[in-house]
Amino acid sequence: MPRGFHLLRAGFARRALRPAVAALLLAGILPACSGTSTAPVQEASRAAPDYVIGPGDVLSVFVYRAPELSASDLPVRPDGRFSLPLVQDVQAAGRTPSQLSRDIEARMKQYVREPVVSVMVRNFVGPADQQIRVIGEAAEPLALPFREGMTVLDAMIASRGLTRYAAGNNARIVRVASGQQNAPRQIIPVRLRDLLNEGDVAQNVPLRPGDTLVIPTGWF
């Protein structure tokens, strides 16, 4: 039989097979394939907690069809508030961006008909009890937002390492139970020079929200 006929018949078979495979997938007869296709959906359904705005965050506020009322690069003041052209002293700290958007809309209704507001966080710091602070003889002392899985090494990379005067092996983590007033402090020693210079991974302590990494000055 001519070779071209065989190719034509094979192409027709592949085209005929596609509806059949689709029908099997829909019917659940091919569980292996259907299982792999639903895994990303299951992972996506695990929603992460909403970000809570804190002092030091930088926001952009967009008012739909009212660019003169919009503003970008708005820092949240230490008192947790910021101001817009028509709305003064808006409480931002402790709220999610969506909650803040609804509050601004409610306060703008006396000036704008059916305002639609979007709030975007451009620079993240977060509330104080969700921050990690690095103080003392770090090259760049700072506060940074906590993220799941953060360790001492992450904090040291963000703060650019130690100064020449740091007593790195005498560093300590000061930890206070989150959300508890006058809670006792837990002191966790950390040998930072051994971690950074010797690769001692035992010193790469996991961090918790609200931790402060204190790096003292050495005596020379």
Residue 36 pLDDT > 80:
no
Correct CATH for 128-215 of 3.10.560.10, 1.20.1430.10, 1.10.8.60, 3.40.50.1000? 3.10.560.10
> Where exactly does CATH 3.30.1950.10 map onto the chain?
58-123
Please report the sign of the dihedral spanned by the C-alpha atoms of residue 210, residue 169, residue 137, residue 217: positive
Report domain 58-123's class: alpha beta
Residues with Cβ within 8 Å of residue 209, at least 6 apart in sequence: 129, 130, 131, 132, 146, 178
How many whole angstroms separate alpha carbon 141 and alpha carbon 30? 56
Report the pLDDT value the prediction gives residue 1, as an integer from 0 to 100: 52
Edge-first strand listing for the sheet containing 142-145: 142-145, 131-136, 212-215, 171-176, 185-190
pLDDT band at 41 (very low <50, low <70, confident <90, very high): very low
> Where exactly does CATH 3.10.560.10 map onto the chain?
128-215
Report the pLDDT value the prediction gives residue 177, as an integer from 0 to 100: 74
Report the pLDDT value the prediction gives residue 2, as an integer from 0 to 100: 52
Residues with Cβ within 8 Å of residue 100, at least 6 apart in sequence: 53, 59, 90, 92, 119
